[in-house]
Amino acid sequence: MRLLLIAALIAGIAWVLYRNVQERRQVWLGRLSLPGRWQGEQDGVRYRLELSGQADGGEYLEVNEGSDGKREERGRWRVVGSNLEFETLDSSVSTCELRLFESGRIGLHGPGRERRIYVRSGDNVVMLPRRRG
pTM of the model: 0.73
Containing domain of residue 103, as a range?
34-120
pLDDT of residue 85: 95
107 and 72 in one domain?
Answer: yes
Asked if pLDDT for residue 127 goes beyond 60, the answer is no
Q: Measuring CA to CA, which residue among 86, 73, 72, 93 is closest to residue 34?
A: 86
Looking at residue 79, its amino acid is V
Q: Give the pLDDT confidence of 13-57 residue by residue, as tens digits.
A: 999 888 988 788 777 777 788 999 999 998 888 999 999 999 889
68: pLDDT confidence band, cut at 50, 70 and 90?
A: confident
58 and 105 in one domain?
Answer: yes
Mean pLDDT (the chain, rounded)? 87
pLDDT of residue 121: 86
DSSP letters along 18-50, please? HHHHHHHHHHHHHHH--SEEEEEEETTEEEEEE
State the total domains in the chain. Answer: 2
109 and 48 in one domain?
Answer: yes
Q: Say if residues 38 and 106 touch (Cβ distance below 8 Å).
A: yes
Q: Say if residues 64 and 47 touch (Cβ distance below 8 Å).
A: yes
106 and 77 in one domain?
Answer: yes
Distances (CA, A) of 16 to 10, 26, 80: 10, 15, 22
